[in-house]
Amino acid sequence: MSSHALFLLNLISTWYMVGLIWMVQIVHYNLFDRVGADAFAHYEAEHNRLITPIVGFPMLIEIATAVILLWMTPPYFPKSAAWIGLGLVLVIWLSTVALQIPAHQRLLQGFDSASYRSLVSTNWIRTIGWTARGILLAYYANALLHRIHPS
């Protein structure tokens, strides 16, 4: 795989996650408190079952390509930007493992207002992290486009 294809795969997986995380943050999580106490544990279990493949595979592609970009850095993407991008991925993963997954585990027992508020508020870490990654990668993709087709 060329460094250009690697960069493109990282860009695509990141922007997939940017769109998904904003939908989850603004729409999906904000509807959790409307499910109802009787149905919530089942709803949360189904959420976890259905969301895992949708987020898991792109997140694995994103982190793998972010790591490889440190060694296969295309000429238009500075190594410092690759390190910043990887740092943001690590913040996202740390937040996921330390904050969001435990909140979801607590919610599997049934709706709990404190766990719900924690989930929604701490998910902003991932929302901002993925948005920052998306902007970083878009900036360098734009630089590449201007290099190929100067205005």
Break the chain into its structural domains and give their ranges. Answer: 3-127
133 in Cβ contact with 85 (< 8 Å): yes
List pLDDT tens digits, range 111-123: 999 999 999 999 9
List pLDDT tens digits, range 7-23: 999 999 999 999 999 99
Is it the case that residue 6 has pLDDT exceeding 80? yes
Q: Give the model's pLDDT for residue 1.
A: 85
- pTM of this structure: 0.93
Is it the case that residue 143 has pLDDT exceeding 90? no
In the block, tokens 């979801």 appear at 104
Question: Mean pLDDT over residues 14-43, rounded?
Answer: 96
Q: Give the model's pLDDT for residue 145.
A: 74
